[in-house]
């Protein structure tokens, strides 16, 4: 797991052909907009969240974000425990995201 600034996150993501963007916010938060191509798994699903993380392809590189960076940091820690070696937490989360945003 690594914490990345938005600039680092965007640059690394752009050069990563094995990348998956993971949004761990709630449905209500996602309704306010999301980063393009993000896979959504709600952090607050508890054990179901862990189960869904465990089903992810462990060979991929995961770029994880939430609203502020706290939940996504915890999600990256859980992913490490599940054997997902490459997870990157977006510092500041969606609140500080200055890139493009999509809507449902």
Residue found under tokens 């890139």:
99
Residue 94: per-residue pLDDT: 97
What would be the CATH architecture of the domain defined by 2-96? 3-Layer(aba) Sandwich (3.40)
Phi, psi of 49 (to 5 degrees): -60, -50
**26-77: pLDDT as tens digits:** 999 999 999 999 999 999 999 999 999 999 999 999 999 999 999 999 999 9
**Structural domain boundaries of the chain?**
2-96
Taking each helix axis as running N to C, give the angle between helix 47-54 and helix 70-81, from 0 to 180 degrees, rounded to the nearest 10.
60
Query: How far is the C-alpha of 20 from the C-alpha of 73, rounded, in Å?
Result: 16
Percent of the chain with pLDDT over 90: 98
Give the whole-angstrom CA distance, residue 32 versus residue 3: 24
Residues labelled catalytic? 66
């Amino acid at each position: 797991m690594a914490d990345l600034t938005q600039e680092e996150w965007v640059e690394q993501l752009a050069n990563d052909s094995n990348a998956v963007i993971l949004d761990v916010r709630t449905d209500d938060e996602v309704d306010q907009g999301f980063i393009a191509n993000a896979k959504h798994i709600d952090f607050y699903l508890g054990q179901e969240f862990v189960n869904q993380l465990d089903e992810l392809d462990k060979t991929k590189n995961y770029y994880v974000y939430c609203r502020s960076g706290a939940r996504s940091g915890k999600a990256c820690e859980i992913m490490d425990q599940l054997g997902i070696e490459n997870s990157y937490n977006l510092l500041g989360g969606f609140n500080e995201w200055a890139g493009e945003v999509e809507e449902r």
